[in-house]
Amino acid sequence: MAFEAGSASEKNLMGLGDAATPPWLTPENIRTVGAAEPLPFPSGEYADRMARVRERLSALDADAILVFRPSAVEYLCGYHTAETAPQPLLVTPEDTYLYVLDLEVGRALASSDVQNVLYCSYANTRNKSQLIAEHVVSTLPQRARLAIEFGNTSTPPQMIGLLGESQLDLVDGQFLVENLKLVLSPAEIRCMEQAAEATRRGVDAAVLAAAEPDATDASVAGRISQALLSGANAASAWGPLVVTEPRSGIPHSSWKGDRLSDETTFLEFAGACHRYHAPVMRTLVQGRPSRAVLRLAGLAKTTLAAVLENAKPGVPCSQVAEQCLKEIGPLGDEEVFHHMLGYPVGLAHPPHWMDTGSFYITKDNPEPLRAGMAFHVPASFRSFGVRCVGLSQTFLVEETGTRVLTHGAADLIEL
């Protein structure tokens, strides 16, 4: 599932500040690098995403948006890289401009369909944010309204300050792109299905690793990682998380070389395809589970079943959550649950696959579900400081209800 990019030779490459044209940036190299990595989606899909962003800008009465969140940049133009420096995308009604470091021009050529690539030098003595801000200001008309995601950690505060000192009028574009990402296209759903296959391989590898003599949480995590990466085209944005009793009772603990407990070991991880994620939680049990373990497993299974039964297009998230919480019932004093019944998943970059807009299945979200949305149900219950049992799935909202994308029963796995 890959599509040819547009001609790399058509891209407009321009250095900012004193960034000279690198000697290796020859027309022949530009053509070769531009053909090295076919896009995962057809150009028409990226064009449709851009069109919908521009519709949102019009509704916001904004003239442009400067996008910093890496997953949002990739969503709009395909650009992705292992580099973590801020490299934003400017979208205007007529054009797009991708700002990268000069060593990232190759990634821009190979992975994006954006036509205007502007690069700063790694060694530039001038402030890179200042160079980008100056170009943004010179590109937009005076007093233009520029949307920017104020609340995301990817947006440098310095950039907000520089743009705020200009003649631009900054408006809050929080989650503008992320809310568009919530409904997946058929091609994106195929990526999710392939990610779920990778997740299945991870579960199988975890079970085999945990059954080995002297298995540790680290050895299990290593085998999961190997399974997730073997044959993959992308790594997960987070994890794998592997933690055994009693540290599993401390939320978000992970492996550190401990021997597996004689009772439970908690797993959470996601396979990825083109950075689309399909997470699961699973719990391994040595021997027959205790009554306390069965109690937590029952809560997790009840939670998952209730979400899958009640989540339908047009149903408010709050209604789904309220029904689920009713079926879960009251918890014991030492039982920990986050009361998050589901969060959207799909295209994500580090630090986490939970890289979307604030659209959760909770009792305070009145927004209705829509067909094409994908969610992970983090059905994990803990006896605080003692153990955790998590049994989850990633599912898709379809016209007739829900379809589970991840594989295998969400039940205790007895070793």
Same domain, 262 and 173: no
Distance CA 235, CA 275 (A): 7
Distance CA 157, CA 150 (A): 8
What residue type is assigned to position 2 of the chain? A
SS3 296: helix
Determine if residue 98 is left, alpha or beta; phi over 0 gives left, psi from -120 to 50 gives alpha, anything else beta: beta
CA atoms within 13 A on the CB side of 357: 17
What residue type is assigned to position 218 of the chain? A
Look at residue 3 and tell me if it is in a domain: no
Q: Which positions ≥6 away from 275 have C-beta within 8 Å?
A: 71, 74, 80, 234, 237, 347, 348, 349
**Residue 148: which of 167, 172, 129, 165 has the closest Cα?**
172
Same domain, 251 and 362: yes
Distance CA 405, CA 85 (A): 33
Look at residue 2 and tell me if it is in a domain: no
pLDDT of residue 280: 98
Same domain, 262 and 372: yes
Q: How many domains does the chain have?
A: 2
Domain boundary among 130, 153, 181: 181
CA atoms within 13 A on the CB side of 139: 24
pLDDT in tens, the chain (415 residues): 443 444 444 789 999 987 788 899 999 999 999 999 999 999 999 999 999 999 999 999 999 999 999 999 999 999 999 999 999 999 999 999 999 999 999 999 999 999 999 998 877 656 889 999 999 999 999 999 999 999 899 999 999 999 999 989 999 999 999 999 999 999 999 999 999 999 999 999 999 999 999 999 999 999 999 999 999 999 999 999 999 999 999 999 999 999 999 999 999 999 999 999 999 999 999 999 999 999 999 999 999 999 999 999 999 999 999 999 999 999 998 899 999 999 999 999 999 999 988 899 999 999 999 999 999 999 999 999 999 999 999 999 999 999 999 999 999 999 9
Would you call 304 exposed, middle or buried from its count of C-beta atoms within 10 A (0-12, 13-18, 19+)?
buried
Backbone angles phi, psi at 160, to 5 degrees: -60, -40
Contact 66, 148 (CB under 8 A): yes
> What letter does residue 319 receive in the DSSP assignment?
H
pTM of the model: 0.95
Look at residue 1 and tell me if it is in a domain: no
Return the residue matching tokens 């004689």.
262
pLDDT of residue 124: 63
Determine if residue 381 is left, alpha or beta; phi over 0 gives left, psi from -120 to 50 gives alpha, anything else beta: beta
Q: Which positions ≥6 away from 192 have C-beta within 8 Å?
A: 184, 273, 276, 278, 345, 346, 374, 394, 396, 405
pLDDT of residue 7: 44
Same domain, 18 and 163: yes
Distance in Å from the first CA to the final CA of the chain: 37
Domain boundary among 126, 157, 181: 181
Look at residue 271 and tell me if it is in a domain: yes
Same domain, 44 and 121: yes
Backbone angles phi, psi at 100, to 5 degrees: -130, 170
Domain that residue 233 falls in: 186-414
Same domain, 139 and 267: no
Look at residue 380 and tell me if it is in a domain: yes
Same domain, 191 and 159: no
Same domain, 202 and 147: no
Look at residue 245 and tell me if it is in a domain: yes
- Tell me how far CA of residue 111 lies from CA of 24, 37, 167, 186, in angstroms: 18, 6, 33, 21
Contact 388, 296 (CB under 8 A): yes
SS3 content of the chain, % helix, strand, coil (to 5): 35, 20, 45
Distance CA 306, CA 390 (A): 15
Same domain, 14 and 36: yes
Same domain, 293 and 395: yes
Distance CA 207, CA 286 (A): 11
Domain boundary among 181, 215, 231: 181
- Tell me how far CA of residue 188 lies from CA of 172, 209, 212, 303, 375, in angstroms: 28, 32, 37, 27, 14
